[in-house]
Amino acid sequence: MKKIASVAALSAIAVGMSTAAQAEGTLDAVKDKGFVQCGVSTGLPGFSNPDEKGNWQGMDVDVCRAIAAAVLGDASKVKYIPLTAKERFTALQSGEIDVLSRNTTWTQTRDTTLGLNFAGVNYYDGQGFLVSKNLGVKSAKELDGAAVCIQSGTTTELNLSDYFKLNNMQFDPIVFDTSDQTVKGFEAGRCDVLTSDQSQLYALRIKLADPSSAMVLPEVISKEPLGPVVRQGDDQWFNIVKWSLNAMINAEELGLSSANVDSMKESSDNPSIKRLIGLEGPKGEGLGLADDWGYQIVKQVGNYGEVFERNVGAGSPLGIERGINALWNQGGFLYAPPMR
Amino acid sequence: MPTDVNKGVAPSSKPKFWNDPDKRAMLFQVLMILAIVGFFYYVINNALTNLDNRGITTGFGFLSQAAGFDILLTLVPFDSSYSFGRTFIVGLLNTLLVSFLGIILATLLGFVMGVARLSHNWLVAKVAAVYIETFRNIPLLLQIFFWYVAVLQTLPSPRQSIELGAGSFLNIRGLYIPSPVFESGFSAVVIALVATIIGIVFLVRWNHKRQDATGKYFPVGWASLALLIVVPGLVFLLAGSPLSWDYPELRGFNFRGGTTIIPELIALLLALTIYTGTFIAETVRAGILAVSHGQTEAAHALGLSNSRTLRLVVIPQAMRVIIPPLTSQHLNLIKNSSLATAIGYPDLVSVFMGTTLNQTGQAIEIIFMTMAVYLTINLLVSLFMNWYNKRVALVER
Note the pLDDT of residue B54: 77
> Which residues, at least 6 apart from B254, have a Cβ–Cβ distance to it below 8 Å?
A145, A146, A147, A172, A192, B158, B173
Going by pLDDT thresholds of 50, 70 and 90, the confidence category of residue B4 is low
Nearest CA in chain A to B45: A14
Nearest CA in chain B to A145: B253
| Residue B350: closest CA among A7, A84, A220, A119 | A84
What integer is the mean pLDDT of B179-185? 80
Q: Which amino acid is at B225?
A: L
Note the pLDDT of residue A22: 43
User: pLDDT per residue over A172-215, tens digit each?
Assistant: 999 988 888 888 889 888 899 999 998 888 888 887 888 888 88
Q: How many CB atoms lie within 10 A of CB A165?
A: 16
User: pLDDT per residue over B361-388, tens digit each?
Assistant: 888 889 999 999 999 999 999 999 889 8
Q: Is A24 exposed, middle or buried (0-12, 13-18, 19+ CB in 10 A)?
A: middle
Residue A21 is nearest to which of B42, B50, B361, comparing CB atoms? B50
User: pLDDT per residue over A54-73, tens digit each?
Assistant: 899 999 999 999 999 999 99
Q: Which domains does chain A have, with CATH numbers?
A: 14-124+226-327 (3.40.190.10), 127-222 (3.40.190.10)
Q: Is A340 exposed, middle or buried (0-12, 13-18, 19+ CB in 10 A)?
A: exposed
Note the pLDDT of residue B396: 64
What integer is the mean pLDDT of B185-206? 87
Disruptive mutation site among A144, A148, A150, A158 for chain B (greatest number of B CBs within 10 Å): A158
- Whether residue A71 contacts residue A140, with contact meaning beta carbons closer than 8 Å, is answered with no
Note the pLDDT of residue A23: 46
Q: Which residues of B touch A175 (CB under 8 A)?
A: 72, 344, 346, 350, 354-355
Residue A109: DSSP 8-state: H
* Mean pLDDT of all residues belonging to chain B: 88
Length in residues, chain B: 397
What integer is the mean pLDDT of B147-165? 86
DSSP per-residue string spanning A89-100: HHHHHTTS-SEE
Task: Look at A161 and B70 and tell me if their CB atoms are within 8 Å.
Answer: yes
Within 13 A of A193's CA, how many CA atoms are on the CB side? 27
Fold category of B84-146+262-392 in CATH = MetI-like fold (1.10.3720)
Residue A89 is nearest to which of B81, B346, B361, comparing CB atoms? B361
Q: Which residues of B touch A18 (CB under 8 A)?
A: 46, 50
Each residue's pLDDT, cut to its tens digit, for chain A (340 residues) gives 444 444 444 444 444 444 444 445 899 999 999 999 999 998 888 999 998 898 999 999 999 999 999 999 999 999 999 998 888 998 998 899 999 999 999 999 899 888 899 999 999 999 999 998 888 888 889 898 899 999 887 888 899 999 999 999 989 999 988 888 888 889 888 899 999 998 888 888 887 888 888 888 988 999 999 999 999 889 999 999 999 999 999 999 999 999 999 999 998 889 999 999 999 888 888 999 999 999 999 999 999 999 999 999 888 888 888 989 999 999 999 999 999 8
Model-level ipTM above the cut of 0.85: no
Q: What is the dihedral of CA B62, B65, B66, B67, to 10 degrees?
A: 0
Pairwise CA distance, residues B287 & B184, whole Å: 49
